[in-house]
Chain A
């Protein structure tokens, strides 16, 4: 069973509007969460992160929200731009006795329409 799930495989949004990407997790041991962006033929690159002690983190057009009780996080992109078209992965880090395990979700392909 995947511990980190992104239930929407794809999302299309008009340029200038808000993109909302969702992620659910099952493991309560996760204490740090990240979003990565991936273009074709490239490795994923880091976008934004949030610690489990916070419920929101903002960086420019990108905001990540964390709802620990629901085991849910979301990424908001406002306003969306055509260059944001990519696959987005959420990731979670489990810290078990000082060893870090990095688990990724299934990915959501975002297409921003001009």
Chain B
């Protein structure tokens, strides 16, 4: 299917476990982003990537790791999940020209118990 997809849609994990959220896009967009959505904070940027093998921190990167070995994939890993990381996570992609709309996945609802 064309577009941007996230998996899983829902995940429950225990405190201290490692968990990886997947993001895949079929457009070969250069940029990809990870956001978390929390009440009162809106969408906060965790990490972003301008191209394969190029990643940079956003507003709230602590506790997260990303990689981008292929243009189409941008996984987000929580190395040791904490309850404060319970959130809805959104992945987005953006074409190379930058000043244009970004396209979002459906989101992953993560609960850390």
A interface residues (Cβ-Cβ under 8 A, vs B): 2, 6, 9, 31-32, 34, 41-46, 49, 51, 89, 91, 93, 95, 99-107
In Å, the complex CA distance between A16 and B99 comes to 32
A-side binding surface: helix, strand, loop or mixed? strand
List 25 A-B residue pairs with CB atoms under 8 Å apart, sorted by A's residue number.
A2-B44, A2-B59, A9-B40, A31-B99, A41-B106, A43-B104, A43-B105, A43-B106, A44-B104, A46-B101, A46-B103, A49-B101, A93-B98, A93-B99, A95-B98, A95-B99, A99-B50, A99-B56, A100-B98, A101-B48, A102-B92, A103-B59, A104-B35, A104-B42, A106-B41
Whole-angstrom distance from the CB of B101 to the nearest CB of chain A?
A: 4
Residue of A nearest to B31 (CB): A100
Choose one: B59, B94, B104; the contact of A45 (CB below 8 Å): B104
Choose one: A2, A102, A106; the contact of B48 (CB below 8 Å): A102
B interface residues (Cβ-Cβ under 8 A, vs A): 31, 33, 35, 40-45, 48, 50, 56, 58-59, 90, 92, 94, 98-107
Whole-angstrom distance from the CB of A9 to the nearest CB of chain B?
A: 7
In Å, the complex CA distance between A43 and B25 comes to 14
Q: Which of A9, A41, A102 has the most CB of B within 10 A?
A: A102
How many residue pairs at the A-B interface have CB separations less than 8 Å?
A: 69
Given A89-B42, A89-B43, A106-B40, A42-B106 contact (CB < 8 Å): yes
Residues of B within 8 A of A95 (CB): 98-99
Residues of A within 8 A of B99 (CB): 31-32, 51, 93, 95, 100
Q: Which of B43, B45, B48, B92 has the most CB of A within 10 A?
A: B43
Residue of B nearest to A6 (CB): B42
Known A43-B107, A93-B98; 19 more pairs at CB < 8 Å: A31-B99, A32-B98, A32-B99, A41-B106, A43-B90, A44-B90, A46-B101, A49-B100, A100-B50, A100-B94, A100-B99, A101-B48, A102-B33, A102-B48, A104-B35, A104-B42, A105-B43, A106-B40, A106-B41
